[in-house]
Amino acid sequence: MSLIVSFVMLIALSLFVFSYIFYAFWQHLAENITTDLRKKYIAALMHQEIAYFEVNKVEQIPAQIAEIFDTVQSSIGEKIANLIFACATCLSGMIYALIYGWLFALACIAYLPVLFTIIGVFGR
């Protein structure tokens, strides 16, 4: 194996390991946050007046709780982690490009406002 192949394999392996640790951290954080929120929600639900339970159907409350907190957990665990990972990857790619090919990188960066405008218009 050449030196370049082993260097690329080392980068790919380290990226895999650190990405797994990163996503596992965010999933664990999301679990802890939703567990605390569930406890607070149940405590607040227990302090409601009886009239609240007469107006709302009691059998629908567990399904509503599960749906709300699954959404919160997926937002914290996956979406925020993906956003941070994508921003970090983009920033590190720009830094690498500016170091090793600064002229071409500057030409590509000049098109970013056009790209963001297109994403803003068609991304809705």
pLDDT of res. 99:
92
What's the pLDDT tens digit per position in 33-44? 999 999 999 999
61-74 vs 3-46: helix axis angle to the nearest 10? 150
pLDDT (mean) for 32-60: 88
Q: How far apart are alpha carbons 95 and 97 in whole angstroms?
A: 5
pLDDT of res. 117:
92
Cβ proximity of 72 and 37 under 8 Å: yes
What's the pLDDT tens digit per position in 61-80? 888 888 999 998 888 888 88
Q: Residue 2: is its pLDDT beyond 90?
A: no
Place of tokens 């406890």: 39
What's the pLDDT tens digit per position in 82-116? 888 888 988 988 898 899 888 988 988 899 899 88
Burial bucket for residue 30 (CB in 10 Å: 0-12, 13-18, 19+)? buried
* Phi, psi dihedral angles at 3 (to 5 degrees): -65, -35
